[in-house]
Structure 1
Amino acid sequence: MDWTEQYRPLHLPDIVGNGAAIRRIVDWAREWTRSSKPLILYGKPGTGKTSAAHALARDMQWETIELNASDQRTKGAIERIAGTSSMTASLSGAQRKLIILDEADNLHGTSDRGGAKAIGDLIRGSLHPIILIANDLFAIPKDLKKRCEPIQFKALPARSIVPRLRHICRSEGLGCNEEALSSIAESASGDMRAAVNMLYAAAIGSPSLDTRGIATSGKDGRATIFDLVARLFRAPSDADLLRLSYEVADTPDTIIQWIGENTRYISSPAERNDAYRSISRADEFIGYTLRRQYYTLWRYATALMLVGTARAAQGSQLTGRIAPPGRWRAMAGMKRQKAIRTTVLNKFSRRLRMPQQTLRDDFLTPIALMINARAPAFAREFDLDADELNFFLHDRERSVKITREAAELPDLPETQKSSPPPPEPETTPPKKTADSQSTLFDGF
């Protein structure tokens, strides 16, 4: 069984750390009325947010209704699952129900269409308390956030994680020393769930645990490029921003492309212009670095692109997903198109018994014209998928439709499949009959 579930705290006193946050949750639950704001429990993963919500319901003897990112969080789904329950009394005799909306910072995309508005309607009309759970408070829609009371769950110190790991070791009959437990707690970076998973990984197949056993079970606690770009738009201090950049594995010549791509979220043209000016200046330092191999200049490039862009953004909020550099997407598209072309040439070359170079140089255009006129027949004859057919038609919708229809038809027997006709035997010109008039060559 998963140790994170097996040893999940069942009651609020069992929650490790964040005592102030737990007390605020208890006070909110005891004093809750219909006019009370819902709670937003936010903080890094593994700090006890979801466990605290379920433990609260258990201690208060409330039923729980949970909706998370694995569920369809459309407007209709939220109204059907949580909305109906919020307006009805409990059948089990419990005084109240606790509605838990996990991963509330992931309300985006078509699968969550209308979800934020439905949650807002749910808050206004609910007869029961509501708790939203999120990793990133800033990713929750503003209209939703202002209707709730945020409570932060901070990363757990290593000294708070060690006792829980020690308890698990004793319960599992696992021998371990304090140095090993401290090493796991430090590597977990404040994430209790990660610490328990690391302990489980290190304990597999061993009756005891020491520092050698955890060498390969550590957690990579470094920040990602997504963390860095998102922080730019939250008005961070210069020192915090630079400190975060040191945790990112990407080099400045990669980071600058991510920043340049997402600078479009700065709404003011003047401020966006200031950001691009900082990025341009940073790009000059990167150029100097690569030409002279003097990598000390990278620190100046990093400072210019990060601090300059952050000050230009002035706390602008992200209005969409962080996107990778457009140049990368274009290069990936070109690479994919090249692979499709290679596959197409290989298919036609084998079938027509023709060298690929000859096919590419002399016959590709005529073949494209013939396929455009008889696309279904060619799709079946040469077993073309939608991408390969679209290589000739340049009409994605038509290509998909044709290949789908071709796939639904029964396969042709081998005897009915056409094949290139065999070459005609060479014929020798007929011998000329001798003229009646004699020539000088007669007799030779």
Structure 2
Amino acid sequence: MDWAEKYRPAHLADLIGNKTAVLQIAEWAKNWTTKSRPLLIYGKPGIGKTSTAYALANDMNWEVVELNASDQRTAAVIERIAGGGSVTASLTGSLRKLIILDEADNLQGTSDRGGAKAIIECIKKSRQPMILIANDLYGLSPELRARCEPVQFKALPARSIAPRLKYLCAAEKIRCSETAIHAIAESAEGDIRSAVNMLYASAIGREDITDSQVHTSQKDERTSIFSLITALFGRASDDELLRLSFEVDDTPETIEQWVEGNVHHLPDQPSVDRAYRALSRADEYLGYTYRRQYHTLWRYATAIMLIGVAEAAGGRGIHARIMPPERWQKMSTAKKQKAIRTGTLNRIAGMIHVPQSTLRENYLGTIAMLVANDPAGYAKSMTLDADQLNFFLNDKARSAQIIKAIAQEEKAEEKEKEKEAPKKAKKEKTPPVEKAQETLPVLPAEEEPVEKKPPAKTQSTLFDGF
């Protein structure tokens, strides 16, 4: 077992750093009610977000129901696992169940379709505490963020990581110098999990760890594309640019798209023209590469592209935000629109029991007219979100306003039900008062007249036969 899992903190008191955030989480758990909002813990990877959630559950004696990125997180799966868990009580004897949704900002793609909406529905119906964990706060939808209480976790300073590493060395009976400990703590860049993994890798098969052995297992750091673009517009030498391009984990074609997307930051038109000429020439070499499958030409394409654009930039630097390639944004928008269209058609086709192709060819126009005449009614009956409603209305602002009004109406109905629930329960507990039945006086039964029988004859006569 690796040390990151073996020495995972079992209690909130064992956690390192982020004391304010941990206190906020503990206070939330202590005062939790069914009206409390879920927690949204966010921050960079490896700083203790998931460990904090598990430590909280352990301290509060709560059962854990977790759904992470390795699971399929469609609407049906989330409703079955997290949805059921958020309403039903625990069967293990624990007081409550803690619903943990890890990597909530990675709900995307076909495998997670409908997941974000299912989470919102779970939050609405939940009768158990929930914690969402994300690396990027803005990777979640605005509606989901608004329904949660955010808690930020920050990167840990090296001075907080070093004592933990010393504790692990003592527990495993390994000797590690102060210099080596601080080298690991610094190179982890606030990531405690990475620091523990580096120490574990350095300690395999050893009882003593030297500085050189720590260096060989340091965190693998790759040059980002942002560093390359910054150097390209700055005063970096040609050799430095080529070195950075080799360290970037992207192909020359991707690098070219990033450079092209930021050429417009050059201050004058002649510089822009020279930069585009260099990109055009580099693009020819990329074409040769793919046509002939001779990837040695990549190095020439990269050199022409970077050195040519750097010459046009003249070391004046870039004084604006580095933007991703514009074509990526267009492709992303087109992909999102296609997903919305497909999801909307599948939903309606399932409701009216026809194939999607038949719906699209024969009924879509009629349905669009009906939705346009009563958008709120159809959005509510078909449970459409703002994007799906906009597919019919082609008006984002109006669609968002309608969905917001529906959400407010549902919220008001929920509050009204919560107010009526105690009254209804009280009414059911009170036994009904039985009214006394009106009874009529019982009359004595009438005696039936008794027929008098003639006395029995003691002797037969001749007239008995007549």
- The answer to whether the Cα contact below 8 Å between 1:278 and 1:308 also exists between their aligned partners in 2 is no
| 2:464 counterpart residue number | none
Percent identity, please: 49
Write the distance in 1 (CA, Å) between the matches of 2:101 and 2:322. 37
| 2:265 counterpart residue number | 278
The CA deviation string for residues 200-241 of structure 1, in whole angstroms up to 9 with x for no partner, is 11111111111011121011345644x889xx9xxxxx9xx9
- The answer to whether the Cα contact below 8 Å between 2:274 and 2:308 also exists between their aligned partners in 1 is no
TM-score (norm 1): 0.58
- The answer to whether the Cα contact below 8 Å between 1:253 and 1:286 also exists between their aligned partners in 2 is no
| 1:195 counterpart residue number | 195
Cα distance, 1:189 vs. partner?
1.0
Write the distance in 2 (CA, Å) between the matches of 1:30 and 1:130. 14
Cα distance, 1:277 vs. partner?
3.9
User: CA distance change for structure 1 residues 214 and 321 in 2, over 3 Å: closer, same or farther?
Assistant: farther
| 1:218 counterpart residue number | 218
User: CA distance change for structure 1 residues 123 and 206 in 2, over 3 Å: closer, same or farther?
Assistant: same
The CA deviation string for residues 297-319 of structure 1, in whole angstroms up to 9 with x for no partner, is 48768954953749x9xxxxx86
User: CA distance change for structure 1 residues 66 and 178 in 2, over 3 Å: closer, same or farther?
Assistant: same
Moved over 3 A (4+): 221-225, 246-261, 275-306, 318-322
2:156 maps to 1:169: no
| 1:11 counterpart residue number | 11
- The answer to whether the Cα contact below 8 Å between 1:57 and 1:63 also exists between their aligned partners in 2 is yes
CA-atom RMSD in angstroms: 4.0
Aligned with 1:307: secondary structure?
Answer: coil
| 2:51 counterpart residue number | 51
Write the distance in 2 (CA, Å) between the matches of 1:48 and 1:65. 18
| Aligned residue-pair number | 295
The CA deviation string for residues 371-409 of structure 1, in whole angstroms up to 9 with x for no partner, is xxxxxxxxxxxxxxxxxxxxxxxxxxxxxxxxxxxxxxx
Write the distance in 1 (CA, Å) between the matches of 2:193 and 2:333. 31
The CA deviation string for residues 339-389 of structure 1, in whole angstroms up to 9 with x for no partner, is xxxxxxxxxxxxxxxxxxxxxxxxxxxxxxxxxxxxxxxxxxxxxxxxxxx
Write the distance in 1 (CA, Å) between the matches of 2:216 and 2:193. 17
Counterpart amino acid of residue 321 in structure 2: V
Cα distance, 1:46 vs. partner?
0.7
Structure 2 regions of 5+ residues with no counterpart? 235-240, 279-302, 327-331, 337-466
Write the distance in 1 (CA, Å) between the matches of 2:333 and 2:36. 29
Write the distance in 2 (CA, Å) between the matches of 1:134 and 1:228. 25
2:117 maps to 1:111: no
Write the distance in 2 (CA, Å) between the matches of 1:110 and 1:206. 46
Cα distance, 1:150 vs. partner?
1.4
The CA deviation string for residues 126-168 of structure 1, in whole angstroms up to 9 with x for no partner, is 0011111111112112221121121111111111111111001
Structure 1 regions of 5+ residues with no counterpart? 233-237, 264-274, 313-317, 323-444
Cα distance, 1:95 vs. partner?
1.9
Counterpart amino acid of residue 31 in structure 1: N
| 1:144 counterpart residue number | 144
User: CA distance change for structure 1 residues 47 and 300 in 2, over 3 Å: closer, same or farther?
Assistant: farther
User: CA distance change for structure 1 residues 112 and 293 in 2, over 3 Å: closer, same or farther?
Assistant: closer
User: CA distance change for structure 1 residues 176 and 282 in 2, over 3 Å: closer, same or farther?
Assistant: farther
2:87 maps to 1:73: no
Cα distance, 1:256 vs. partner?
5.8
- The answer to whether the Cα contact below 8 Å between 1:180 and 1:210 also exists between their aligned partners in 2 is yes
Write the distance in 2 (CA, Å) between the matches of 1:252 and 1:12. 44
- The answer to whether the Cα contact below 8 Å between 1:285 and 1:301 also exists between their aligned partners in 2 is no
| 1:392 counterpart residue number | none
User: CA distance change for structure 1 residues 297 and 17 in 2, over 3 Å: closer, same or farther?
Assistant: farther
